[in-house]
Amino acid sequence: MLRSLFASFFFLYCTCSSAYESVDLKLDSGLTMSLSQYSGAGKSLLLWLPSERGFGKNYIPTALNLSTLDYDVWAVNLHESYIVPSSRESLEEVDIGDLLELLEHARQQGFLEVYIISSSRSMQLALKMAYQWQQQHAGSNLIRGLLSFSPHLINGRTEMGEDASYVDIAYYSNLPVYLLQPQFSTKFARSQEIAKVLQQGGSQVYIHYLKGVQGGFHMRPDDDLGVQDLLIRGQLPNILSRAVKLLGQTSVARLDNHYQTSATADDDSEPVIKLPALHPFSGDKSAPLLSLVDLKGQAFNLVKLKGQVVLVNFWATWCGPCVEEIPSLSRLVDRLKDQPFQVIAVNIGESAQAIEKFIESMPVNFKILLDKDGSAIRDWKVYAYPSNYLLDKTGLIQYSYRGALEWDETSIIDTIEELL
């Protein structure tokens, strides 16, 4: 039944031929670039690159739904444009100069921001085109972020028992990156490793783990997919929309202008990996009032936790990054269960009933408070979700972090234990 519903959904959109069109763009290099364009509001462009295996057709419902959310989508048909068969090496034929000309065409069309979507090995193209565009257009903020499904950034073949090396350009990304990592894919277990490489150039990296989902679910035929794959693919337009909004709100680090043919061309030392880190709090360290009720209607006051280290987390069930970090918050509580430490999660504007239903499928082991009227977020000057404050035993704010983290990372736990 579920498969038939998805098939009907797919047919419905494919019959709406006016919603998208095939465009052949003649480039200065002489190449004719083939695009499938899905029209949105003409402001935000999602430039979608295929994996080395190509697009297929099953991404089309996602692209069409994104256009109804006001995003323009340009699916770049690289294999058709360069007349190459899909294979592991197919994207090696792509000229970055052609992709830069495509970006210039987007700029001339009046787009205010561009987000590049890639899969597997096309993430390498996305990184290169973004870096070279920034080099050639100093001060340009046209490219606002990168989204990638299971990015393949490993350099060459890695023999069993050896550590992988990564392509040079991966170390020079300064743009925010959103990784979508299906559980049943070879890159899932390497998610943190990939993120650490990308962070070296200054990128803020967000990881969205897709549990129970197969790699390539967004492109593969329905018959190759399970129920969970199809469900997540149905949610993909909203997932990507939330990711784009998150990237658009993320600050961009200074660009490192020293990308060479080798990431360590003149340096034999090991690259320095930027681990996830809490930021020392620079504002007034006196914690604002936090007096709310919990899910059972019981009153709670933060001052009662003096003598304990407290992580105050502002979140909502509709906030994708908030939801993603919940399991790691629970693991953090388990890790420090014998220490004077607590997580207090302040939910923003939702009912106790809605939250109770939500945590049926995602149980938590920490207290949840209800900020029904937004008074706490105003008092604590919260402008983005999730936002986090780490208080020492005296109740002073020592660290903060805006955005999602893997809270049981060693570097994070070390910081907390220093306060303990």
Q: Is residue 256 part of a domain?
A: no
- Exposed/middle/buried for 29, CB within 10 Å: 0-12, 13-18, 19+? exposed
Model's pTM, two decimal places? Answer: 0.60
Q: In whole angstroms, what separates CA 339 from the centre of its chain? A: 32
Looking at the structure, tell me whether residues 37 and 183 fall in a common domain.
yes
Looking at the structure, tell me whether residues 127 and 170 fall in a common domain.
yes
Nearest to 120 by CA among 95, 97, 71, 86: 86
Q: Is residue 265 part of a domain?
A: no
Judged against a pLDDT cut of 60, whether residue 261 lies above it is answered with no
pLDDT at position 158: 63
Judged against a pLDDT cut of 60, whether residue 263 lies above it is answered with no
Judged against a pLDDT cut of 50, whether residue 6 lies above it is answered with no
Q: Which two tokens stand for residue 43?
A: 């402001």
Q: Is residue 387 part of a domain?
A: yes
Of residues 256 and 264, more confidently modeled? 256
Residues of the domain holding 171: 2-248
Range in 34-38, 96-100, 193-197 the model is least confident about: 193-197
Q: Cβ(205)–Cβ(199) under 8 Å?
A: yes
Provide the CATH number for the domain around residue 233: 3.40.50.1820
**Integer CA distances (angstroms), 144 to 40, 152, 259, in order:** 18, 21, 20
Write out pLDDT tens, residues 216-248. Answer: 999 988 888 899 999 999 999 999 999 999 999
Judged against a pLDDT cut of 90, whether residue 15 lies above it is answered with no
Looking at the structure, tell me whether residues 236 and 345 fall in a common domain.
no
pLDDT at position 270: 34
Q: Which two tokens stand for residue 302?
A: 């933060």
Mean pLDDT of the chain: 86
Judged against a pLDDT cut of 60, whether residue 12 lies above it is answered with no
Q: Which two tokens stand for residue 383?
A: 């402008």
* Interval 318-339 mean pLDDT: 91
Looking at the structure, tell me whether residues 395 and 318 fall in a common domain.
yes
* Interval 299-303 mean pLDDT: 94
* Interval 249-261 mean pLDDT: 66
Judged against a pLDDT cut of 80, whether residue 406 lies above it is answered with yes
pLDDT at position 241: 94
pLDDT at position 19: 67
pLDDT at position 255: 72
Report cis status (omega within 30 of 0) of the bond before 386: yes
Provide the CATH number for the domain around residue 350: 3.40.30.10
Looking at the structure, tell me whether residues 90 and 205 fall in a common domain.
yes
- Exposed/middle/buried for 142, CB within 10 Å: 0-12, 13-18, 19+? middle
Number of domains forming the structure of the chain: 2
Write out pLDDT tens, residues 310-320. Answer: 999 999 888 88
pLDDT at position 162: 54
Of residues 161 and 247, more confidently modeled? 247
Q: Confidence band (pLDDT; 50, 70, 90) for 256?
A: low
pLDDT at position 139: 83
Q: Is residue 268 part of a domain?
A: no
Q: Confidence band (pLDDT; 50, 70, 90) for 191?
A: confident
Q: Confidence band (pLDDT; 50, 70, 90) for 266?
A: very low
Boundary-marking domain end, from 207, 232, 248: 248
Looking at the structure, tell me whether residues 113 and 176 fall in a common domain.
yes
Boundary-marking domain end, from 248, 271, 304: 248
Looking at the structure, tell me whether residues 414 and 298 fall in a common domain.
yes
Q: Cβ(179)–Cβ(194) under 8 Å?
A: yes
Write out pLDDT tens, residues 362-401. Answer: 999 999 999 988 888 888 888 778 889 999 999 999 998 8
Location of structure tokens 């007034």: 284
Judged against a pLDDT cut of 60, whether residue 4 lies above it is answered with no
Boundary-marking domain end, from 230, 248, 266: 248
Looking at the structure, tell me whether residues 344 and 232 fall in a common domain.
no
- Residue 42: which region, alpha, beta or left (left: phi > 0; alpha: psi -120 to 50)? left
